[in-house]
Structure 1
Amino acid sequence: MPDDTAGDTHESNMALEKRAMNLTRWANLGMGLAGAIAALLSNSQALLIDGLFSLIGYISAVFAMRISQTAHLGPDRLRPFGYAADEALYATFRSLALIGLVVFGISQAILGITDYVLGGDVETIRLAPVAVYTVIVAAACFWLAFVHHHAWKRTGRRSDMLKLEAQASVYDAVITVFAGAGLLSTPYMKGTLLEPVAPVMDSIMVLILCSIATLSYFRAFRKGMAQLAGAPASPADQLAVWHALRRASSEESGDIIDTAVVRIGRKLDTVVYYNPNRSVTADDVDQLTHRMAKQLVQDVGPSAVMIVVSNKGRD
């Protein structure tokens, strides 16, 4: 009787990931529109930038939903190495779009501060919309972070998209709270050392927020680029792969000479340089490949294995 447990688990994980990403899509759209409205009502550039972050999150979620339906697929004629790289592409270009928005925000803030220093006037920030927006959007972001983190754990901690969205939601919440607190503190600056910067506090908050965001987005961009460039998997991944391969080949007389392991999205691609120490047939190699791949999937998650019969490894 066939065992459908693995298939059922996979389908359940895919459904859970799809629901979480669908929730992200609509939540980000709502927060983006809220940011635009709040910025219009309050004259705050910081809230506008925050809302634009959410709108980019909405667009990203649309693509993420499509990728989540194909990232698990294996090789075919169109994609001879499978579709896992789409996940790395998603993380890379999402971060790149956000970095572009950060650059735009910084340039606008600098222009605003320059105009004020040169004698220009600045618009008064209305604080009531700022307070309402901060409370609602920060609560929504923290809730989204909880939902995505919970979904990431339930799906085996293997979805880079869910992990990225959970981290991004936390950053969005922190940024929103920080922006709101900075703007709401403006009236209390009168009579203090900070009074001279109170008129341009909105632009200053944009600079600070964009600087904080840059660290997060650049880290995600660098990680995605490293995966697309074929950088080695993390030491933890490589160690887990090595132990799994040793278990899978424990009954064989051959030796694992070397391994080359790269992570592409949620999948590990592994080339095993193997000396069988005896004459082997193609069927022997296929059977060992199957055992290694099965052990890797069991121990470390989605994986692909290719055995290269060799006595020297990559050298």
Structure 2
Amino acid sequence: MKDKIIQIERQSLTVGICANLFMAFSGWATFYLSGSEALLLDGNFSFILFLSSIAALKISAIKSNRSNTFPFGLFVSEALYSLLKGLLIGGVLLTAITANITKIGKFIQGEELTMLKTGPILIYSIAMVVTCFGLSLFYHYQNKRTGNNSSMLTTDKASSLVDGCMSAGTGAALVLIGYITPASSFNFLLYIGDAIMVLILATIMVKQPITIVKEAFIELAGGRLQNVDAYEDIESIITQQLSQQETMAHNVFISKTGSSYLVVLSFTTEEIDRKGITIFAHIKQSLSTQLTAKYPHIDVELVLS
């Protein structure tokens, strides 16, 4: 199962690398033809996804390698990948916001700006929306094949979905701007409509990098598993197993680092003396077997409290 997950991840990420590179060059080319800053943001966002997919491909190959130095593998690299990706996306958005606020400021001050050319935008938008949503669905299908055990495919699915929404929103708005005449009271949109659209999109998207960075930081710091569904699922398996042995854990801690899970069950010395050490060895073995069937990268540890 572990080898199958790695193979699926590598196939998916390879497709993502090609798709995101195509979208990045398409965004830059359309920006050159139209002069729209919104499409420059779109192209830069796709390029960030392209670079991160290359890194993810390498991480997928090494994350499960265990050694004396890293006895639990290199799953921390997945969390680090998500953290850096969130920071990069945040940096792109911050740069775009700053640049376009400056553009709007120049227009207000009366500086002459180039009028947008919306001709090539419709074709670009249709192509990008199809590519982005298709890639997001592909990541969803591939992650489902892994039992939803790939944190990188989960992150990339969300990123591609946001990229598709950004392309759809940008394209629709800029095509509509193309129908505005210079004599219209909305003629200012012919010059700064793309800048306004960038600010709107950046505001909508800002939650994504914040969420990615927050969850990655919690994983890197060894915090409690944030996925409520996964936590309750693992907890119910533990509760069922312990009830069968007529015992109870003093404390249950479940954490996740990348696609690796750690379950720590605390028992009092009185409970261990009452049931006997053999029972707890059996509990650990049974839990490991049962949980590994659903979560291939999981470690179960029993400790005294």
TM-score by structure 1 length? 0.88
Give how far 1:206 is off.
Answer: 1.4
Question: What residue is the counterpart of 2:13 in the other structure?
Answer: 21
Amino acid at match of 2:72: F
Give how far 1:240 is off.
Answer: 2.2
Question: What residue is the counterpart of 2:211 in the other structure?
Answer: 219
Give how far 1:10 is off.
Answer: 3.2
The answer to whether the aligner puts 1:272 opposite 2:265 as a matched pair is yes
Question: 1:140-159 alignment to 2 at 5 Å?
Answer: 140-159=131-150
Question: What residue is the counterpart of 2:290 in the other structure?
Answer: 295
Unmatched runs of 5 consecutive residues or more in structure 1: 1-8, 311-315
Higher relative CO (CA 8 A, sep ≥ 6), structure 1 or 2? 2
Q: Of 249, 252, 255, which aligns to 1:262?
A: 255
Over the aligned positions, Cα root-mean-square deviation in angstroms equals: 2.1
String of CA shifts for 1:29-59, please: whole Å, max 9, x gaps. 1111111111111111111111010111110
Check conservation: 2:2, 2:297, Cα contact below 8 A.
no
Distance, in Å, in 1 between the alignment partners of 2:184 and 2:221 is: 52
Amino acid at match of 1:276: I
String of CA shifts for 1:217-240, please: whole Å, max 9, x gaps. 222221111222222113433332
Unmatched runs of 5 consecutive residues or more in structure 2: none
Distance, in Å, in 2 between the alignment partners of 1:306 and 1:164 is: 28
Check conservation: 1:42, 1:130, Cα contact below 8 A.
yes
Give how far 1:170 is off.
Answer: 1.2
Question: 1:177-196 alignment to 2 at 5 Å?
Answer: 177-190=168-181, 194-196=186-188
Identical counterparts, % of pairs: 24
Q: Of 105, 110, 116, which aligns to 2:101?
A: 110
Check conservation: 1:32, 1:53, Cα contact below 8 A.
yes
Give how far 1:111 is off.
Answer: 0.7
SS in 2 for 1:72: coil
Question: What residue is the counterpart of 2:231 in the other structure?
Answer: 238
Question: What residue is the counterpart of 2:200 in the other structure?
Answer: 208
Distance, in Å, in 1 between the alignment partners of 2:231 and 2:166 is: 35
Q: Which segment is superposed worse, 212-221 or 56-65?
A: 212-221
String of CA shifts for 1:210-260, please: whole Å, max 9, x gaps. 112212222222111122222211343333222222343455454321111
Question: What residue is the counterpart of 1:35 in the other structure?
Answer: 27
SS in 1 for 2:224: coil
Q: Of 41, 59, 75, which aligns to 1:84?
A: 75
Aligned length: 300
